[in-house]
Every structure is written in structure tokens, then in C-alpha cells.
Amino acid sequence: MQTGNSGKIYRFLQAIAGVLGILYMSYSTPILAQVSAGGTPISFTSNIPQNIHTVSTLPVNVDSLLAEDEREAAEGMPFRFGFGFDVEYSFYNSGTWVDLPDGGANPAGPDLASGPHHNTNSAPL
């Protein structure tokens, strides 16, 4: 009789040790994440025009993609998480640039400084 009870106690103690181990690891491991600068986005508080440039792509043939996914799943291929297609959009030929009230900055960085739409007092929306 005692062997059955000692086995239950042993399993119980193993469970407690596992839970304590997980708690220890979760509290002793540093948590790394993106640091937020805080504040409110400029577009929420500035008088930025609402008529911004939008782009619509051609429709995707979903039925064809689903059929292809079924064939590939049957062959053991990994799940598709997206469908890529070529476009020719860039900072130079797409989007809307607006002069910000505080003079703004070009968040695109120095690589685009020589581009045709460069304006140090503008930022893309």
C-alpha cells in the first residue's frame, strides 16, 4: 500500500518542481523587446490632408492558390503564408509627401537624399 502512495507523492513533487522551475526561468530571464519612444503619432495631431495617394493591386486568383496549396500539402510541402508578386513602387514614384508643421525629417534616411522627391522638411505618410 505504501508503494502506491509514495509514487503519487513523488509525481506530485515532480510537478511542483517543474512549475517552480518554469517560474524561476521566466522571472530570471531578461525580457527584451522593442523600446517605444511613446507619444502620439504626428498624423493624429497635425492638420495633414486626408487625400493621400493609395494603390490598388490586381486581384489575386484565390481559387487557384488554394488548389495549389492542396496539391503541395499532399506532397508534404510546408504551408504557404503569403503570395508574393512583383510591383514597381518606391519612395520615388509612390506615396504622398507632406510638409510637417515642425519642419519634419526624412525618415527614409540618407540613402534617398539624392532622390527626386527629397525634401528635408517632408516625410511620407
The string of pLDDT tens digits covering residues 67-106 is 999 999 999 999 888 888 888 888 778 877 777 666 665 4
pLDDT at 92: 78
* 59 phi/psi in degrees, rounded to 5: -65, 150
Q: Is 110 inside any structural domain?
A: no
Could you tell me the three cell numbers for 19? 512549475
pLDDT tens digit sequence for 13-53: 999 998 888 888 777 766 666 666 777 776 677 777 777 77
Q: How far apart are CA 108 and CA 54, in angstroms?
A: 19
Q: Is 125 inside any structural domain?
A: no
Which structural domain, as residue segments, surrounds residue 13? 1-28
Q: Is 1 inside any structural domain?
A: yes
Q: Is 46 inside any structural domain?
A: no
Secondary structure of residue 123 in the 3-state scheme = strand
Q: How far apart are CA 57 and CA 59, in angstroms?
A: 6
pLDDT at 120: 44
Q: Is 5 inside any structural domain?
A: yes
The structural domain count of the chain equals 1
C-alpha of 55 from chain center: 21
pLDDT at 63: 95
Per the DSSP assignment, residues forming a β-bridge with 23 are none
Q: Is 88 inside any structural domain?
A: no
pLDDT at 104: 65
105 vs 57, higher pLDDT: 57
Average pLDDT of the residues of the chain: 74
pTM assigned to the model: 0.37
Local structure of residue 92 (DSSP, 8 states): T
